[in-house]
Structure 1
């Protein structure tokens, strides 16, 4: 059973999928094949573990569907692990260090590595869906400490990406060297693309929020759609064209930043 589409039993056609995993290099995971993982501390939640060290990532991404009054009251992150939560749809109440934040669709919160995140569903009995992230924080001398950041993407101005008016970016965290990672939303109008095929040391975990694209992943052109998850490993070739008629191809993604490579 693909728990997101609630389909059980035999399919009418052959078993097939667009999903592909090349450990350490790249992956595309479609909603159809995701399974429900039981994780201690998450109550009344359906969740799939997406990118993880077992895939070659240095972070962990989750897709979480929070039901009823479900959530995590035990605590997520802390003890050197920073976390980030983005509300795909619904409404949740997040609490960090005694302060509560009401997060509707497009809302997010970053929690530094010395604090824990808790949250409960607050969507009038309807489900909420979250894109959740954790990564061990990489200390660096003389750079200060990251702080709690919260906001909503609907309040963040879109900026032209690398001089292209048809490609827009939103930066969700401060451009501050205290943070060893960042989150962005990149949106391509139909027909728009990256200006070049990127090759870099940074890793990405991306969740497609809208539209469709053709993504070059390590020189493999892959179709991607709303609800897909994409992992891009260090030095994996990467670029995309937006396809479709009238909806922008948009995805939220993480990026490690502001640190040298440890040896």
Structure 2
């Protein structure tokens, strides 16, 4: 079955539009709605050609500190032979539109919508759009936390079409997660998954936990509980949560509600001086 993924449309609203929108940044969470992702808020990166990006999150002291997340837009003949300049950074790519050629450690892969790639730190890779239309993908980056006695994970390239979602216990499949990495593999210190709710599906309790989150809505709509607020979200919206921000949701229908989820996992809490968390 063909999957559908929302991606930014760019451009600018007309002068006749109202200013009011749903963007909010609080001490516990942020919501960046799709209407915010306009041409004027794009960024650029060194060593990338014919490429722009929307930065959805970046480490902020006192907020979410473990990761950054971009939506990349690479035009025809665009790309990079030196995409990552930080040797500590691991990355995940998830394709939402178009296609590109990804080369990791000398192996070439044609990446299409639904495509997922995990790129370990210090890995040589390149990315090129060989087509005649733009391609768009999420790029999630994290400084890998090495553990003595655990090797660094190998690269992973797959597509969500090749993975059977795992239903949450007791939900009759109304709430399921597409996992690209084995949760018991302690080499991995972050997970990027796709969470799917059938219409009317619900997270039936207020999740309150140590993981930081980035949630990009790929499809559908829902009412999401963030800290003390109920917030309406739809395809193209992004939610950014600090650790221990309470969260829950009701999927609104009429179709599936699906989002790309980042969380940090499988590591001790970093200890520092008095009052220091990370």
TM range (shorter): over 0.9
TM-score by length of 1: 0.92
Alignment of 1:101-180 (within 5 A): 101-122=109-130, 124-164=131-171, 165-175=173-183, 176-180=185-189
**How many residue pairs end up in the alignment?**
257
Which of 32, 35, 39 aligns to 2:35? It is: 32
Structure 2 distance, partners of 1:72, 1:253, is 26
What is the CA-CA distance between 1:57 and the residue it aligns to? Answer: 3.3
Q: Does 1:48 align with 2:54?
A: yes
Per-residue CA deviations over 1:151-203 (Å, capped at 9, x if unaligned) read: 00011001211321211111012331011111111000111111311000001
Structure that is richer in strand per residue = 1
Q: Does 1:225 align with 2:228?
A: no
What is the root-mean-square deviation of aligned Cα atoms in Å?
A: 1.6
Q: Which residue of 2 aligns with 1:184?
A: 193
Q: Structure 1 residues 195 and 117, CA, compared in 2 at 3 Å: closer, same or farther?
A: farther
What is the CA-CA distance between 1:71 and the residue it aligns to? Answer: 1.5
Q: Structure 1 residues 41 and 159, CA, compared in 2 at 3 Å: closer, same or farther?
A: same
Q: Which residue of 2 aligns with 1:21?
A: 25
Per-residue CA deviations over 1:59-101 (Å, capped at 9, x if unaligned) read: 1000111111111222325511101100011111111111111
Deviating above 6 A after TM superposition, structure 1's stretches of 4 or more consecutive aligned residues are none
Structure 2 distance, partners of 1:142, 1:66, is 38
TM-score by length of 2: 0.88
Which consecutive unaligned segments of at least 5 residues does structure 2 have? 1-7, 272-278
Q: Structure 1 residues 230 and 179, CA, compared in 2 at 3 Å: closer, same or farther?
A: same
Q: Which residue of 2 aligns with 1:62?
A: 70
Structure 2 distance, partners of 1:253, 1:43, is 28
Structure 1 distance, partners of 2:32, 2:94, is 19
SS of equivalent to 1:262: coil
